[in-house]
Amino acid sequence: MPDTPDPVAALLAARLSGQALPAFPAPVPATLAEAYTVQRRLAAALGAPVLGWKVGRIPPALVETLGAERVAGPVLRVAELDGDRPGEALIFRDGAGAIESEVMLRLCAVPDGRVTADDGARWVDEIRAGFEVASSPAPDVHNHAPYGIIADIGINNGLLLGPRLDPADFATLGVETRIDGVAVGSGRAIDVLDGPWGALDFLADLHRRGVIELKPGQWISAGAITGVHPIAIGQTATARFGAAAIACTAAAETGFHA
């Protein structure tokens, strides 16, 4: 009998080579549990330490059916932005590529219970403005949301860290994102579902259930504040978090190296 197709093998080869796939490899996971199993296997095969976790949204039409509003994915790349020049956002040529303006929370301890706005600062010792680079070698990955997105390590392709934000008002700052100078979205972190502390609470629950593993020092990319904005190689994204500004330019992914 022929071997059963394994999406991990195809996704792994694509991420290691930097080459796009014609489509998301079959079989696409059919449940959240299957998707997170593929995610864990793919992250382990890539062989890099998990430096953080991204949080994304489940399509609204599926929230009631799945009983969840968010998805998680491991972060295997983190880079500091230089305020004097745009950072580099690595995007799969002919794959899916987007940029998301987010607040980044650095864990100083793993939450041992529910996380709320009143006690969130207990678990976090630094807050930054930043970009999540969201890119997949599968150009149709969004057609398989949320299962394909979860499976392909949350389609995370790195975090770009900008300046520190004041813990007292980071969640209420007005944020605007531009692509090549054109405004594409605006918002506040506090208005994304139940805000950044809700995102951390979601991850803490997954940790307690053994779905993911949180560790001190990891960065939490707490959700797209202004939306998920497609970006092409060569385009530049800028974002303002109140008075703080960050920028990055999309470049071609050439292959992941641990």
- For 200, the 3-state DSSP assignment is helix
Q: Where is 63: in which H helix or E strand? A: helix 60-66
Looking at residue 2, what is its pLDDT?
55
Query: Can you tell me the distance from the alpha carbon of 75 to that of 161, in angstroms, rounded to the nearest whole number?
Result: 13
Q: Where are the beta strands (DSSP E) in 42-108?
A: 52-57, 70-75, 78-80, 87-91, 96-107
Looking at residue 5, what is its pLDDT?
83
Looking at residue 83, what is its pLDDT?
82
Looking at residue 1, what is its pLDDT?
43
- 177 strand-pairing partners: 185, 239
What is the signed CA dihedral for 156, 162, 165, 170, rounded to 10 degrees?
Answer: -40
- For 59, the 3-state DSSP assignment is coil
Q: Which tens digit of pLDDT belongs to each residue from 215-249?
A: 999 999 999 999 999 999 999 999 999 999 999 99
User: At CA 58, angle to CA 131 and CA 38, rounded to 5?
Assistant: 85
Q: Which tens digit of pLDDT belongs to each residue from 40-98?
A: 999 999 999 999 999 999 999 999 999 999 999 999 999 999 888 999 999 999 999 99
pLDDT tier for residue 4 given thresholds of 50, 70 and 90: confident
Nearest partner of 165 among 52, 241, 82, judged by Cα: 241
